[in-house]
């Protein structure tokens, strides 16, 4: 496994592979890797000749400097996970490599997908995501790039971004990996106590109850939202950031539940912010 901090070296290696007609898969990450990440890597390895992973905690996508400062880092452990997950190359840039001269004052937006959910509760977040990805996609001209659907809004935005700007790359969404109890795996889970992890299971319970109602034929989004919110409100420790029932393709509101539906939640447990979602087909 190649490990490099040099963007020119990384790009040169990838272009060399592609000149040999080898396909390249890419998974951008912020490190502190877990089974959800390794699932992306293994998926890429199964669909491409070579797999590349980047590990970079991107300051441009944090609207809270404290959250950025607290983001967990375990580079040694990350490299072990990459090695055991069939990764061929790891790009390990620092802030000066990614943003020489500082974070540029450039704002990248996909307005129709950035009107709700994390785009409004975390202003500047997706602009920062698109900024770092625009740089990474130039350094790593992969054939396919892999994103977990736990960050469902991000997946849709990146897919539209790549299409709009003409990056010759396919964006692949990969289903959320969960613990045996149902908790969506996240690097932020490391900051939860064991009792808080138990409490966090209310997020998936709320979503699954909403899913069940829709599968039973419920057409009123207000009714589904009310039932899901009651689950979250049963805990005094959970502070709901948002809870939405939306069109899974456009993130638009649904007056009547039909087609592909996204149930999405973000909530705080203490200082830790968690997100989760389910997609369900309305009858």
Q: Using one digit for the tens of pLDDT, what is the confidence trace for 76-125?
A: 999 999 999 999 999 999 999 999 999 999 999 999 999 999 999 999 99
Q: Does residue 211 have a known ligand-binding role? A: no
Together in a domain, 129 and 212: no
Residue 182 within any structural domain of the chain: no
What's the number of domains the chain is made of?
2
What is the domain-level CATH number for residue 198? 3.30.1300.10
Does the pLDDT at position 63 exceed 90? no
Domain ranges, residue 127: 2-174
Residue 283 within any structural domain of the chain: no
Residue 179 within any structural domain of the chain: no
Together in a domain, 75 and 114: yes
Of 174, 207, 224, which residue sits at a domain end?
174
Our answer to whether residue 112 is catalytic in this structure is: no
Q: Which one is catalytic: 37, 112, 125, 138?
A: 37
Q: Is 120 exposed, middle or buried (0-12, 13-18, 19+ CB in 10 A)?
A: exposed
Q: Does residue 92 have a known ligand-binding role? A: no
Q: Does residue 269 have a known ligand-binding role? A: no
Q: Does residue 46 have a known ligand-binding role? A: no
Chain mean pLDDT for the chain: 96
Q: What is the pLDDT of residue 64?
A: 86
Of 147, 174, 201, which residue sits at a domain end?
174
Query: Minimal CA–CA distance to 212: which of 261, 166, 178, 170?
Result: 261
Together in a domain, 78 and 160: yes
Does the pLDDT at position 70 exceed 90? no
Reported confidence tier of residue 209, pLDDT bands at 50, 70, 90: very high
Q: Does residue 34 have a known ligand-binding role? A: yes
- Specify the long-range contacts of residues 132-136, CB closer than 8 Å, at least 24 apart: 132/28, 132/56, 132/58, 132/60, 132/61, 132/98, 133/28, 133/158, 133/161, 134/108, 134/165, 135/98, 136/26, 136/28, 136/54, 136/56, 136/91
Does the pLDDT at position 276 exceed 90? yes
Does the pLDDT at position 283 exceed 80? no
Q: What is the pLDDT of residue 266?
A: 98
Q: Does residue 169 have a known ligand-binding role? A: no
Q: Does residue 86 have a known ligand-binding role? A: no
**Residue pair 225/211 in contact by the 8 Å Cβ criterion:** no
Residue 180 within any structural domain of the chain: no
What is the domain-level CATH number for residue 27? 3.40.50.620
Does the pLDDT at position 193 exceed 80? yes
Residue 55 within any structural domain of the chain: yes
């Amino acid at each position: 496994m190649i490990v490099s901090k040099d963007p020119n070296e990384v790009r040169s290696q990838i272009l060399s592979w592609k000149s040999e007609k080898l396909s390249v898969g890419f998974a951008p990450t912020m490190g502190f890797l877990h089974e959800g990440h390794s699932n992306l890597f293994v998926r890429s390895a199964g669909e491409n000749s070579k797999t590349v992973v980047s590990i970079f905690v991107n300051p441009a996508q944090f609207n809270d400097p404290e959250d950025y400062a607290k983001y967990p880092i375990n580079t040694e452990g990350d490299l072990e996970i990459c090695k055991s997950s069939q990764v061929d190359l790891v790009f390990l840039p620092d802030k000066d490599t990614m943003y020489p001269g500082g974070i540029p004052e450039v704002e990248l937006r996909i307005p129709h997908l950035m009107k709700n959910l994390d785009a409004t509760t975390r202003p500047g977040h997706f602009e920062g995501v698109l900024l770092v990805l625009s740089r990474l996609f130039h350094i790593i001209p992969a054939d396919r790039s892999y994103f977990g659907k736990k960050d469902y809004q991000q997946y849709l935005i990146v897919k539209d971004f790549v299409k709009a700007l003409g990056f010759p790359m396919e964006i692949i969404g990969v289903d959320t990996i969960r613990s045996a109890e149902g908790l969506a795996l996240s690097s932020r889970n490391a900051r939860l106590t064991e009792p808080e992890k138990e409490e966090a299971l209310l997020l998936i319970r709320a979503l699954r109850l909403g899913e069940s109602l829709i599968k039973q034929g419920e057409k009123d989004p207000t009714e589904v939202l009310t039932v899901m919110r009651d689950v979250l409100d049963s805990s005094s420790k959970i502070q709901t950031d948002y809870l939405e029932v939306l069109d899974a393709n456009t993130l638009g509101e649904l007056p009547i539940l039909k087609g592909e539906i996204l149930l999405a939640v973000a909530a705080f447990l203490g200082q830790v912010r968690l997100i989760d979602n389910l997609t369900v087909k309305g009858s």
